[in-house]
Structure 1
Amino acid sequence: MKFTKLQSVGNDFVLLDPQGEEQDWPKLALHMCHRHFGAGADGLMLILPSEKADFRMRIFNADGSEAEICGNGLRCLIHYIAVNKLLGNLDELSIETLAGMRHAQIFKDGRIRTTMGKPMFEAHQIPVAAEPDPKHYNGQLISDFPLNINNRRVLVSLVSMGNPHAIHFCTKPVEEFPLGEVGSQVEIHKAFPKRTNFEVANILDTEHIKCGFGNEG
């Protein structure tokens, strides 16, 4: 089986072009993404034909669950399309995802610009199953939502970009936060019926934020 390995800011993927072949993609993701017995990746991506766009993207987490979209994965997919000239010399394209249509522009210097959709903040849009405390939720934005993770109280702010994200803002350096330990538990917390991505952010100044990323699966 031929595949391509790509990464964006360290978020790595195995990319397949099935060319009409059907497989048990969740099972294949489990095997191919394994760090010791597979190719090793955060996710498995498929590039597929679309009736609505230039291409369709499907993405499976390392645990076999299917994600609606992934920004880093989307950039990797567009880079693959550009390098292999799958659309000839066209510099604009559209990608169909489970989170909706995304549009991209490819620059001559190799840079990529892509739409990510409109951020959604309401509880049912994320979604979050637990009823937010009114002091943390004004009907439009959920901030400092408390989670109990291994006897640690973790406050997160919630947003959906077509897939759910829980962000913990910390005052200490991001490197000191136990991202792997806490993130893996936040991602599968019962408050998130569709699971969630987890990020840690430290606001350095008015123009800079340092982030650490955990991904579903």
Structure 2
Amino acid sequence: MRPLTGADLSSDDPGRRGTDRAGCPAVDKTGPVHLTRHHGLGNDFLITFADEVPDDAPELARRLCHRTDGIGADGLVFGMPDNVYDRSFILFNSDGSRAELSGNGLRCFGQALLRGSIHDGIDLVVRTAAGPRRVVVDGSPDDKEVLATVEMGSAGLGPSFDGLEVDLGGPEVRRVESVNLGNPHLVILVDDPDTVDLGRVGPVVEAAFAPVGCNVNLVSVQDWSEIRLRTWERGAGLTQACGTGACASAHVLRSWGLVDEVVAVYMPGGRATVTVADPILLTGPAVHVDDHDVDPVVAPDG
């Protein structure tokens, strides 16, 4: 069956129960907030659809994403109708800060939209704070796990790291580069990312880029088509996987002549595939975890 397009998503098809005219799952404005939780390689997100982002969204993100007192997630996504693109994607990190972009989050967002459709497959363009991104999902609305590809845009110059001294506590730093993929990344080439205490190193390096901060990636090359990666994410800390980090690392390693155009990126949560082209392509799974109905007024404090 052909992929779902933007024209389908804005249609008035009366058979598309559970969606509004914009193609988003229908929002009950009088009841509790409906959230779906998804993960991409363990990097998990709470997703809700609304006409606007509430003023207390940062606090909601902190409360709902809290692993002990809330539902638990790395980020909170608001999906909204858009007057130019098929959707708007607004992401708050678990600490309440805004994030420009998330490759794993966009794959999960695509699955959430697919679940509100009656069609197999979805192909749409989403507005993010880093610019429009195309999301293509292969699968059916009832599938627990789907495969999704995101056009992640082009890599640009990252923040200056002149004078930065990276102390990994023993392991040697082979090379360092910064890159911007809509959000800032520092890519550090090491022999083995698992030998580094990233929980200690990550926040120290991130703080060196204050006030904006920076995502910190430790990467090693296994062979021409395979790399290993661990990421300290700005605003979320250690995560099981980072889509933009995978793309940033593959791009930098390709520019150094160390990997092929298509690279398997192995992270603690599993494998994603990055194609270093223009735009950079990120392919990986998105998994629906569960659903929640929450009254934001009484959402647990974190």
Q: TM-score range by the shorter chain?
A: 0.7 to 0.9
Q: Is the 8 A contact 2:167 2:201 kept in 1?
A: no
**Residue in 1 that maps onto 2:37:** 5
Answer yes or no: is 1:176 the counterpart of 2:195.
yes
Matches within 5 A, 1:53-92: 53-85=85-117, 88=119, 91-92=122-123
| Structure 2: tracts of 5 or more residues without a match | 1-32, 141-145, 236-302
What is the Cα deviation at residue 51 of structure 1?
1.1
Does 1 or 2 have the higher relative contact order (CA < 8 Å, sep 6+)?
2
**Residue in 1 that maps onto 2:156:** 120
Aligned counterparts of 1:66 and 1:9: Cα–Cα separation in 2: 21
Report the CA distance shift for 1:156/1:26 in structure 2 as closer, same or farther (over 3 A).
Answer: farther
**Residue in 2 that maps onto 1:205:** 223
Report the CA distance shift for 1:150/1:58 in structure 2 as closer, same or farther (over 3 A).
Answer: farther
What is the Cα deviation at residue 146 of structure 1?
3.2
Answer yes or no: is 1:111 the counterpart of 2:111.
no
**Residue in 1 that maps onto 2:126:** 95
Structure exhibiting the larger radius of gyration computed from Cα positions: 2
What is the Cα deviation at residue 16 of structure 1?
1.6
Report the CA distance shift for 1:170/1:152 in structure 2 as closer, same or farther (over 3 A).
Answer: closer
| Structure 1: tracts of 5 or more residues without a match | 134-144
What is the Cα deviation at residue 22 of structure 1?
2.5
Q: Is the 8 A contact 1:158 1:167 kept in 2?
A: yes
Q: Is the 8 A contact 2:171 2:195 kept in 1?
A: no
Q: Is the 8 A contact 2:66 2:94 kept in 1?
A: yes
The equivalent position to 1:38 in structure 2, one of 46, 64, 70, is 70
What is the Cα deviation at residue 61 of structure 1?
1.0
Aligned counterparts of 2:115 and 2:133: Cα–Cα separation in 1: 19
Give the residue type in structure 2 aligned to 1:198: V
Matched-pair identity in %: 30
What is the Cα deviation at residue 216 of structure 1?
1.5
Matches within 5 A, 1:143-158: 146-147=165-166, 156-158=176-178
What is the Cα deviation at residue 106 of structure 1?
2.4
Give the residue type in structure 2 aligned to 1:197: N
Q: Is the 8 A contact 2:172 2:190 kept in 1?
A: no
**Residue in 2 that maps onto 1:164:** 184
**Residue in 2 that maps onto 1:16:** 48
Give the residue type in structure 1 aligned to 2:216: F
Aligned counterparts of 2:137 and 2:170: Cα–Cα separation in 1: 46
Give the residue type in structure 1 aligned to 2:152: M
SS at match of 1:39: coil
Length-normalised TM-score, structure 2: 0.59
Q: Deviations over 1:10-31 (max 9, x none)?
A: 1111112134462411111111
Report the CA distance shift for 1:175/1:149 in structure 2 as closer, same or farther (over 3 A).
Answer: closer
Task: Give the number of aligned pairs.
Answer: 197
What is the Cα deviation at residue 84 of structure 1?
2.0
Aligned counterparts of 2:167 and 2:204: Cα–Cα separation in 1: 10
Report the CA distance shift for 1:210/1:150 in structure 2 as closer, same or farther (over 3 A).
Answer: closer
